[in-house]
Amino acid sequence: MSYRWLIVLALLALLVGCSSPAPAPAETAVPVQTIVNIGSDTMVNLALAWAEAYMQEHPEVRISVTGGGSGTGIAALINGTAHIANASRAMKPEEVETARANGINPVEFAVALDAIAVVVHPSNPVDHLTLQQISDIYTGKITNWKEVGGEDRPIVLLSRESNSGTYVYFLEHVVRLGNPKSDLLFSPDTLLMPSSEGISTEVRQNPNAIGYDGLGYVTPDQKVIAVGRDPGGPFVLPSVETVNDGTYPVSRPLYMYTAGEPTGVVKAYLDWILTEGQAIVPTLGFVPLRGAVPHPSP
């Protein structure tokens, strides 16, 4: 073989040795699964905190959380636009009936406990009220602070809007004192606030105002009223401890509802909320609930 051909063969071998390796097969992307979670404004901060923590641990899951009120979340579950409905009250019988007529059997999960705090302006000298006095205030039977030991000032009533689960619970358990036969209503003079923040802002600005909200939304610049079941007391402030021991009289479960028994990614998320996720609950002013189990709505 001539010297010239030897050089050509050597160059070809060099080119083959320096060529780029064949690209490795692309890894198959893990499909992202989405959970749509809609409902209670009381629960929205807690639901957002749960979602953020869970997505950090499970990047293959995307959780969309929006508020709008318990009624909004339940309606979204019924019409199939939400996987999970947050509710600060139990579903109403008519809502369950509508859901079942739509082919959906709602399943209820208690996921935390909440105290509803009654709040006033820090300058208000009133520091305790009975449930009956609060009912009389919100129905308009008591209209001046001097009637409950305060100054001679008119009482300004603040409430959440009727789509709020907090509104429904307060109406049934405080205004109506838990009597299912009662037809008492909020006074027509009650100012309906669209959000927890709206109540907080008005209470801070108005020395005559009284409002109510989930304990997790109470800020240090509001005064929390101690509540008693009877005139002789005891009068108890809301806290994790007084909710757990049952001494604070205005507390409630917080719920998540699914359309039928949850499966797949929704079940995994709810299982996490009821176990590891409970550690987040007290950081937002709510009360952890251990051992919660699902059960179909009645």
The lowest-confidence range among 50-59, 192-201, 288-297 is 288-297
**Alpha-carbon gap, residue 274 to 271, rounded angstroms:** 5
Give the pLDDT of residue 17.
Answer: 47
Q: Are 223 and 127 in contact (CB under 8 A)?
A: yes
The lowest-confidence range among 14-18, 102-106, 223-227, 279-283 is 14-18
CATH superfamily of 33-113+253-296: Periplasmic binding protein-like II (3.40.190.10)
Fold of 115-251: D-Maltodextrin-Binding Protein; domain 2 (3.40.190)
Enter the pTM of the model.
0.78
What is the chain's percent helix, strand, coil content, to nearest 5?
35, 25, 40
Q: How many other C-beta atoms are found inside a 10 Å radius of the C-beta of residue 263? A: 9
Q: What dihedral do alpha carbons 205, 209, 213, 216 form, nearest 10°?
A: 40
Please name the residue ranges forming H helices in the chain: 3-18, 44-57, 70-78, 93-101, 131-139, 165-170, 196-205, 240-244, 264-273
Whether 191 shows a pLDDT value over 60: the answer reads: yes
Q: Are 77 and 85 in contact (CB under 8 A)?
A: yes
- Residue 29 pLDDT class (50, 70, 90 cuts): low
Whether 15 shows a pLDDT value over 50: the answer reads: no
Structure tokens at 39: 């409902």
Please name the residue ranges forming H helices in 79-151: 93-101, 131-139
The mean pLDDT of the chain is: 89
- Residue 24 pLDDT class (50, 70, 90 cuts): very low
Structure tokens at 254: 């917080």
Higher-confidence residue of 28 and 97: namely 97
Domain regions of the chain by residue span: 33-113+253-296, 115-251
* 94-103 average pLDDT score: 96
- Residue 163 pLDDT class (50, 70, 90 cuts): confident
**Alpha-carbon gap, residue 245 to 236, rounded angstroms:** 11
Amino acid at site 154: P
